A and B are shown apart, each in its own frame.
Chain A
Amino acid sequence: MSEAVSALSGAEFKGFASVTETGLRGMITVRGDLASKAMTAAIKAATGADVPAQRKVAVGGKGKVAWMSPDELLVVVDYATVLDTVATLNAALSGGHALVANVSDARAVFEIRGVGCRDVLAKLAPVDLSHSRFAADEIRRTRIAQVPAAFWQTESDAFEVICFRSVAQYVFDVLRLSATKGGEVHHLG
């Protein structure tokens, strides 16, 4: 196997908040009956976490799992272990109707860090990011300017944004513009 490279090779920008491409992340689309025992067991085995409720992210010892739709989850693990995790999931779900797809390479991941991180996102996504409304264990599938994206909180002043790999440069560029000094909103941070 050749060395795998992420879309922007770890591009960084420092404005009133920082924007960093985090590098490759293991991501697996899992579709199936989220209420089934097999799914509960599969997700537990793959991540150590429970199946999350609507719009929630559950964190386990080996990774996290995010609710994507009534029949879809996103499993997030280290890039190095993704093929093993796919195998674990496939084995656990083999008895029923389910789909497991490695989508790690189809994605880019960005971290927004700093007191103004919520304002950076609020310029681009039609989401209520206020502290009281956007919970720490929440994921939101939405858009960043003109492209689909999702994000969740990692710390009180840090978010991770995922998007498709082909638009990584676009997403980095709009996040960079949004975080550029002089554009502080001082509304959510």
Chain B
Amino acid sequence: MSTRLATGGRLLNKAKQVTFSFNGKQLTGYEGDTLASALLANDQMLMGRSFKYHRPRGVVASGAEEPNALVNLGAGGKFEPNQRATTTELYDGLSATSQNHWPSLEFDVGVVNNYAARALPAGFYYKTFMAPAAAWKHVFEPIVRHSAGLGKAPKDRDADRYEHYYAFFDVVIVGGGVAGLQAAKTAGLAGASVLLMEQTAFWGGRAPVDGGEIDGKATDDFIDATVTELEAMDNVTLRNRMMGAGVYDHGYLLGYERLTDHAPALAGPRHRLWRIRAKQIVTATGAIERPLSFAGNDIPGVMLASAVRDYVANFGVSAGDRTVVVTNNDDAYRTAIALKNAGLDVPVILDARATGGGALAEEAKALGIRVENGKAIAKVKGGKRVTGVAICAQAGEGSVLEDIACDAVAMSGGWSPVVHLWSHCGGKLNWNEKYAMFQPDPNRPPLSHDGNPFVVPAGSAAGAQTDTDYEGFSLFETLRTAHDAANKVCQALGLNVPDLKTPSVSEHDEVALEPVWLMPQGAGTKLRMKAWLDYQNDVKVSDVRLAAQEGYESVEHTKRYTTLGMATDQGKLSNINGLAVLSDALNQPIPATGTTTFRPPYTPISMGSIAGEARDEVFQPLRRTPIHDWHEANGAFFEPVGQWRRPYCFPRGSETHADAVKREINQTRNSVGLLDASTLGKIIVKGPDAGKFLDMMYTNMMSTLKPGKCRYGLVCNENGFLIDDGVVARIDEDTFLCHTTTGGAERIHGWMEDWLQCEWWDWQVFTANVTEQYAQIAIVGPNARNLIEKLGGDMDVSEEALPFMAWKDGKIGAFDARAYRISFSGELSYEIAVPASQGRAFWDVVMEFGKEFDIMPYGTEALHVMRAEKGFIMIGDETDGTVIPQDLNMQWAISKKKGDFLGKRAQLRDHMASPDRWKLAGFETLDGSVIPDGSYIVAEGKNANNQRNVQGRVTSTYYSPTLDRGIAMGLVHGGMNRLDDVVEFNKVDGGTVAARVVDPVFYDKDGEKQNV
């Protein structure tokens, strides 16, 4: 059984007991425990079930690489699935449940998949698709959906908050082990601004567990002294619980800081995503131990040798009383020695190397541990827990020589440098034959914008340098490469590097490992089918071999076919073993197979951290006019228009929206209404060439406009399509004010600047977007003039003094105002601009004085209906990016006198000039009903896709309160030439509605009402 030892546990605070629950069971641990160590201390070896076969899974590792021990953490708004128990710090009240089982972890019905494993080989999904289509939908998908999957999706809103943080450093060092600390010291002393980040809560990495001495003292002392030294440097920033998640172009780096995961009661954001610009990056990310592939290597109790050692040293926890160690290298002997020293039993060390190990092996033997060279595990015995191993010769096919009872297995297949961050941005790898691992190629690093390297690996993440006499992952090499890496980045930054001596080190010499990709070497099909590569996704040696047999040669294809390395751990343990098996099956060297692509993030980061602060009321910016608060207080129903919220209508009491719109229109048509038009864009265009410039921007002639006058204009893009419209007012000889649509303000301003800056840079024109400087309020209806006159002031707003399509500055009431006689409703209308800071006050005064006319505000829907009654087009309704002004019968707004304007040449193309284009017309249903939005005008016959042919479509369709019937505009083949034809619009119910083609101006065709 796994249990807490009486001694040991360097990371624990044994004075502080912590209570937590697992699957509802109350358990205790200590401050400093991870969830995994605390579960092991409580003999909870079984922690989850695998994805496909629902096999029992126990913890296999002790850090970020863990594939098995994934739990649902927390509840309600704090619930989060797929959390690694090995990186979850224990806190009081932590509540975790295991995943992917039903009805319980101990007894899982889904495990039948395990017995059907022969029916679920590699490529199962793809092969299933080759069955009749219906079989997938009705047979396989429901079964797979029910049985596959890991954690549950959260159901409640996330209760935590998150944020981003932008930071800039000369040097960022990822990894706070001894390599990272040493590199930080060197770079810090050189005067660089340095960030050193460490994903766990403590500094020093695994050096204190692995032993050795630095400068004659324990590694712990070196770590403490260095951290103290770094903390005293103003130019060095230390951050723990912060993972280097990804390296991107130009030294962009993501740091994922977990602020309250270890103490959810703390105030403040849960995660902070650091968005860092680093001039140089040092990856001191360490190395990950590889499992060995033998039958039953996934049974709970089989763990990485380093993890077994970590649990003893860091947490005072033993994985079992009797642990068999199986290895192909010297490092695993450290585990056997640590276990023995902790008073635990190591029945045998199985060393796959025929010649065995070096100094560490001698030390183990001296402790009385039985060592068997050239031996291997034939199979592990047990179900939910290891009960023993069968031993065989590594060279053979697995004939059992001996059975040994044990309750844990510590395995080591060698180490792989963590090259992820090196590789994210294009750093290349070499295969190191001697150590059987991929390591960064210093000659092919990630390059920055200037072609210079910006990532340097340090410590064991750099792999083993073959040009030195020192062995692989030795402590000495770790410190030396760290110092060198810091040296290199400081030189790149032009800093003087301090003359630092690499600390002296005393440690064991090791002899080389022997690559072991399958155990025993000649294992047959039966054993291979139980030799796991990917624990989380249930990929076995047999699956990879099957893929190779079926013709999959590319490692990327094999990955997707078998799902090897596609789980939440992204194959941190399985990738190298998997591609080695593939290489063997393809009979090619490992470098020829290569690796799959390393992509950020290094381990999954929370969705919340990516979103940052953008949620709830600040999910998106919401733009408010100066009168927005009044709208809110008066019951406006809002609709989004760009990032603005504009009142759609102002329903009163229990009034429906339709009734409100009808009331607002009738009031405006019969007396006076009020519209908040502040959102419309207002762009000043000024300069000697302003007229010439606007003649290019608009299809019609603007340069001839007289000061004091307004003209409606159309803006097209260079492809001829209509992109905006609005009224242009000429302020003086050199100055125009261009109104745009609400959504067009920024876009058209940018469009103007684009042409001025990139094409016509020698034209003397300046623009300024002054949209928000003004509150603009439309006073609309037959009583509009009466009302304005009642407001007082010095402005003469009579027909003579301020005729239709003119504008004027002056006082209206006490307000500095500019009044435009423009109308989008067909009524007598003044749009009045006042300074935004007085907009609300002006609105209030107008409402007050308008009482005698029963004044009421109207919303965007009333605006839309009234303009449709007048046959005015709306950008976004009548246009959709494929419509040119000619389609809308607006030839009158296209100047024939001008040499050029944007869109002119495009509009001359054959297709644009074709008589077959659908053109604007009005439509009246014969029965008075309203044509459905989006409806098409059907034509005879069907097209090649068996769809009904069409000859047009509706673009605007409303119930008109003024006419008490449905009215519509639309585009139809033949356009106004079809006058009086009856066409059929399709309906949602499958039927059609008949409508007559009519003039799109339904109301006041002669403009008598607006021109008064």
Residues of A whose CB lies within 8 Å of any CB of B are 1-7, 24, 29, 31-32, 71, 97-99, 101-107, 119, 122-128, 130, 133, 145-147, 164-170, 173-174, 177-178, 180-185, 187
Complex Cα spacing A122 to B774, Å: 32
The answer on a CB contact under 8 Å between B838 and A2 is yes
The answer on a CB contact under 8 Å between B168 and A133 is yes
Complex Cα spacing A169 to B168, Å: 29
Chain B, residue nearest A108 (CB): B772
Complex Cα spacing A5 to B166, Å: 34
The answer on a CB contact under 8 Å between B626 and A165 is yes
Complex Cα spacing A165 to B775, Å: 11
Complex Cα spacing A7 to B614, Å: 22
B623 interfacial by beta-carbon distance below 8 Å:
yes
Complex Cα spacing A182 to B622, Å: 26
The answer on a CB contact under 8 Å between B768 and A103 is yes
The answer on a CB contact under 8 Å between A146 and B621 is yes
B686 to A: closest C-beta gap in Å: 5
**Cβ-neighbour of B166 out of A2, A107, A126 (below 8 A):** A126
B271 to A: closest C-beta gap in Å: 12
Residues of B whose CB lies within 8 Å of any CB of A are 161, 163-168, 193, 237, 266-269, 272, 275, 277, 612-614, 617-618, 620-626, 643-644, 684, 686-688, 764, 766-768, 770-774, 814-816, 835-838, 840-842, 845
Residues of chain B contacted by A133 (CB below 8 angstroms): 168
Complex Cα spacing A102 to B772, Å: 11
Residues of chain B contacted by A182 (CB below 8 angstroms): 266-269
Residues of chain B contacted by A2 (CB below 8 angstroms): 814-815, 838, 841-842, 845
The answer on a CB contact under 8 Å between B163 and A178 is yes
Complex Cα spacing A98 to B267, Å: 52
Chain A, residue nearest B839 (CB): A105
The answer on a CB contact under 8 Å between A105 and B268 is no
The answer on a CB contact under 8 Å between B815 and A127 is no
Chain A, residue nearest B746 (CB): A148
Residues of chain A contacted by B835 (CB below 8 angstroms): 4, 104-105
Residues of chain B contacted by A146 (CB below 8 angstroms): 614, 620-621
Chain A, residue nearest B815 (CB): A2
Chain B, residue nearest A142 (CB): B166
The answer on a CB contact under 8 Å between B267 and A4 is no
Residues of chain A contacted by B166 (CB below 8 angstroms): 122-123, 125-128
Given A106-B772, A145-B613, A167-B623, is A177 in contact with B165 using a C-beta cutoff of 8 Å? no
Residues of chain B contacted by A177 (CB below 8 angstroms): 161, 163, 613, 618
The answer on a CB contact under 8 Å between B684 and A99 is yes
Task: Please give me the 5 A-B residue pairs with the lowest Cβ-Cβ distance, nearest first.
Answer: A182-B268, A182-B267, A4-B837, A106-B772, A99-B766
**Cβ-neighbour of B768 out of A4, A31, A127, A128 (below 8 A):** A31
Given A99-B686, A105-B774, is A183 in contact with B163 using a C-beta cutoff of 8 Å? yes
Residues of chain B contacted by A105 (CB below 8 angstroms): 772-774, 835-837
Residues of chain B contacted by A124 (CB below 8 angstroms): 164, 613
Complex Cα spacing A28 to B166, Å: 30
Complex Cα spacing A167 to B386, Å: 63
Residues of chain B contacted by A126 (CB below 8 angstroms): 166, 275
The answer on a CB contact under 8 Å between B772 and A165 is yes
Residues of chain B contacted by A174 (CB below 8 angstroms): 613, 618
Complex Cα spacing A160 to B501, Å: 48
Given A24-B837, A165-B772, A182-B269, is A97 in contact with B766 using a C-beta cutoff of 8 Å? yes
What are 23 A-B contacts defined by CB distance under 8 Å?
Answer: A1-B838, A2-B814, A2-B838, A3-B841, A5-B840, A5-B841, A6-B837, A31-B766, A99-B686, A99-B687, A99-B766, A101-B773, A104-B835, A106-B836, A123-B165, A126-B275, A128-B166, A146-B614, A146-B621, A170-B621, A174-B618, A183-B163, A187-B237
The answer on a CB contact under 8 Å between B688 and A97 is yes
The answer on a CB contact under 8 Å between B766 and A106 is no
The answer on a CB contact under 8 Å between A1 and B814 is yes
**Cβ-neighbour of A145 out of B269, B272, B618 (below 8 A):** B618
Given A2-B814, A3-B838, A169-B624, 4 more A-B residue pairs with CB atoms under 8 Å apart are A2-B838, A5-B840, A177-B163, A182-B268
**Cβ-neighbour of A166 out of B614, B644, B764, B816 (below 8 A):** B644
Residues of chain A contacted by B688 (CB below 8 angstroms): 97
Residues of chain A contacted by B613 (CB below 8 angstroms): 123-124, 145, 174, 177-178
Complex Cα spacing A107 to B626, Å: 12
B795 to A: closest C-beta gap in Å: 15
The answer on a CB contact under 8 Å between B770 and A103 is yes
B771 to A: closest C-beta gap in Å: 7
Complex Cα spacing A5 to B960, Å: 39
**Cβ-neighbour of A101 out of B164, B684, B842 (below 8 A):** B684
The answer on a CB contact under 8 Å between B772 and A99 is no
Chain B, residue nearest A172 (CB): B618
Complex Cα spacing A130 to B195, Å: 13
The answer on a CB contact under 8 Å between A187 and B167 is yes
Chain B, residue nearest A147 (CB): B621
B392 to A: closest C-beta gap in Å: 57
Residues of chain A contacted by B768 (CB below 8 angstroms): 29, 31, 99, 101, 103
**Cβ-neighbour of B614 out of A97, A145, A184 (below 8 A):** A145
A146 to B: closest C-beta gap in Å: 5
B230 to A: closest C-beta gap in Å: 15
Complex Cα spacing A7 to B835, Å: 12
Residues of chain B contacted by A184 (CB below 8 angstroms): 268
Residues of chain A contacted by B625 (CB below 8 angstroms): 166
Chain B, residue nearest A126 (CB): B166
Residues of chain B contacted by A1 (CB below 8 angstroms): 814-816, 838
Complex Cα spacing A87 to B833, Å: 20
Residues of chain A contacted by B841 (CB below 8 angstroms): 2-3, 5
A106 to B: closest C-beta gap in Å: 4
Residues of chain A contacted by B618 (CB below 8 angstroms): 145, 170, 173-174, 177
Complex Cα spacing A71 to B621, Å: 29
A78 to B: closest C-beta gap in Å: 14
Complex Cα spacing A3 to B815, Å: 10
Complex Cα spacing A24 to B163, Å: 30
Residues of chain B contacted by A180 (CB below 8 angstroms): 268
The answer on a CB contact under 8 Å between A4 and B772 is no
Residues of chain A contacted by B193 (CB below 8 angstroms): 130
The answer on a CB contact under 8 Å between B766 and A123 is no
Complex Cα spacing A80 to B612, Å: 39
Complex Cα spacing A126 to B767, Å: 27
Residues of chain A contacted by B277 (CB below 8 angstroms): 128
The answer on a CB contact under 8 Å between B167 and A122 is yes
B600 to A: closest C-beta gap in Å: 19
Chain B, residue nearest A133 (CB): B168
Chain B, residue nearest A105 (CB): B836
Residues of chain A contacted by B614 (CB below 8 angstroms): 145-146
Chain A, residue nearest B620 (CB): A146
Chain B, residue nearest A167 (CB): B621
Residues of chain B contacted by A178 (CB below 8 angstroms): 163, 613
Complex Cα spacing A170 to B643, Å: 11
Complex Cα spacing A166 to B676, Å: 14
Given A101-B768, A173-B617, A173-B618, is A166 in contact with B624 using a C-beta cutoff of 8 Å? yes
Chain B, residue nearest A127 (CB): B166
A76 to B: closest C-beta gap in Å: 15
Chain A, residue nearest B813 (CB): A2
Chain A, residue nearest B770 (CB): A101
Chain B, residue nearest A31 (CB): B766
Complex Cα spacing A6 to B614, Å: 25
Complex Cα spacing A73 to B667, Å: 47
Complex Cα spacing A1 to B840, Å: 13
Complex Cα spacing A16 to B624, Å: 28
Complex Cα spacing A184 to B259, Å: 11
Complex Cα spacing A4 to B773, Å: 12
The answer on a CB contact under 8 Å between B687 and A128 is no
Residues of chain A contacted by B165 (CB below 8 angstroms): 119, 122-123, 185, 187
Residues of chain A contacted by B837 (CB below 8 angstroms): 4-6, 24, 104-105
Complex Cα spacing A151 to B164, Å: 19
The answer on a CB contact under 8 Å between B766 and A98 is yes
Complex Cα spacing A9 to B128, Å: 65
The winner among B163, B644, B845 for most chain A CB atoms within 10 A is B163
